[in-house]
Amino acid sequence: MRQIIIKRIFCIVICILIASMTIFFWISHRKNMIIDRSNAVGVHVEFSGPKTFFIKEGPVTYCYDMSISGVKFVRYYISVDEPGVKVKKGEVIVNIQPEGNNHNLVRGSYDDTRIVIADDGKEEPLYSGSFFVCNDEFEESSLVFTGMLDAEQDTIDAYNHVSKLVPVEKLKQYYNRALTICNQLNE
């Protein structure tokens, strides 16, 4: 009886070892394939985890995940400088990501962690952030409202704030570029 238990434990350990090695080699192979494809496309890939990588082009950082089915676009973000604002520390980050599995809707948001210096020399924290959901053309008329109290005005304010920081045409351009890179890496 004891030998049967030992054999079963040994078989389980061997199966786990084989599965682990297979996953390790698969991840290594996928990483090498993504690096080769990105070099062919003319972009530089940096991995930030076993399945997560990003591509930086100018002010934009595009983030992707790799899986068995291929590369998936996760989001892009931009660190924005607002002209005429004296910043002691912090930054404003604009994030754009697909909403759910549907690439026809996007979620835009901003996170403001700045401490600014007012004209009178006082420091003012601007910690704030909000989000909106709209179509992939970033049209204001396509904003999606949740129905919660003040949600409609908060959504409009978030959209206006983001589009003031980054023009709508640039948001569309960056989003389409992110999808293009994703498609090229999946070829």
What value does the mean pLDDT of the chain take?
87
Quick one: angle between helices 168-186 and 151-165, nearest 10?
A: 80
Decide the pairing of beta strands 102-112 and 123-125.
unpaired
Phi and psi (nearest 5°) for 25? Answer: -70, -35
Token readout for 70 is 């291929």
For the entire predicted model, the pTM comes to 0.81
Number of domains forming the structure of the chain: 1
63 is a domain residue = yes
181 is a domain residue = yes
169 is a domain residue = yes
pLDDT band for position 60 (cuts 50, 70, 90): very high
52 neighbors 65 (Cβ within 8 angstroms): yes
22 neighbors 14 (Cβ within 8 angstroms): no
27 is a domain residue = no
Q: Is residue 4's pLDDT more than 70?
A: yes
CA pair distance 5, 24, nearest whole angstrom? 29
Q: Which domain holds residue 128?
A: 45-186
34 is a domain residue = no
- Residue scoring higher pLDDT (29 or 96): 96
106 neighbors 98 (Cβ within 8 angstroms): yes
Quick one: angle between helices 2-41 and 168-186, nearest 10?
A: 120
182 neighbors 64 (Cβ within 8 angstroms): yes
141 is a domain residue = yes
Q: Counting beta carbons within 10 angstroms of the beta carbon of residue 166, is it exposed (0 to 12), middle (13 to 18) or buried (19 or more)?
A: buried
Q: What is the pLDDT of residue 149?
A: 63
Distance of CA 51 to the CA centre of its chain: 13
156 is a domain residue = yes
131 is a domain residue = yes
For 75-116, what is each residue's pLDDT tens digit? 999 999 887 788 888 889 999 999 877 678 999 999 988 888
Torsion over CA: 63, 79, 141, 180 (sign):
negative
Distance of CA 26 to the CA centre of its chain: 24
